[in-house]
Amino acid sequence: MDTHAARGRLIAERERLEGVRQAADRLGAGAREAAERELSSADQHPAELATETIERELDWTVVRHAEAELAEIDAALARLDASTYGSCEACGQPISDARLDALPAARYCVEDQAKVARARRNGHR
């Protein structure tokens, strides 16, 4: 595993996600202003209100998703610093380079990822 290349990919992905989060923050600020205008204007069309409500909910989904991915990338960068990057957190076996190429922030090997996903579905919430 080329940790230098991995770090470069993680940092590039981090910058992309920061951009997404900042763009969503700006959209969110715009939506809040729109909501304040709604309160002060009595004659707005109901369909426009509905559209703006949907846009606000979409913004939050994007922000939460970007923040969750950022947390995974920070965790992966911490593993790089600790020299544990590329090892499965469950079984300790190396994660394949192909998997890390596709998912630079992967914590688990394919088998353990499937187990974790199953455990989550079975009600650890």
Query: In the complex, which residues of this chain contact Zn ion (CB under 5 A)?
Result: 88, 90-91, 109, 112
Q: Compute the least distance from the CB of residue 91 to Zn ion, in Å.
A: 3
Helix H, strand E, coil C: the string for 40-57 is HCCCCCHHHHHHHHHHHH
Q: Which is nearer to Zn ion, 40 or 83 (by Cβ)?
A: 83
Residue whose C-beta lies closest to Zn ion: 88
Calpha distance 118→59 (Å, rounded): 28
Q: Which is nearer to Zn ion, 88 or 105 (by Cβ)?
A: 88
Q: Which is nearer to Zn ion, 49 or 91 (by Cβ)?
A: 91
Give 95-102's long-range contacts (Cβ < 8 A, gap of 24+): 97/1, 100/1, 100/6
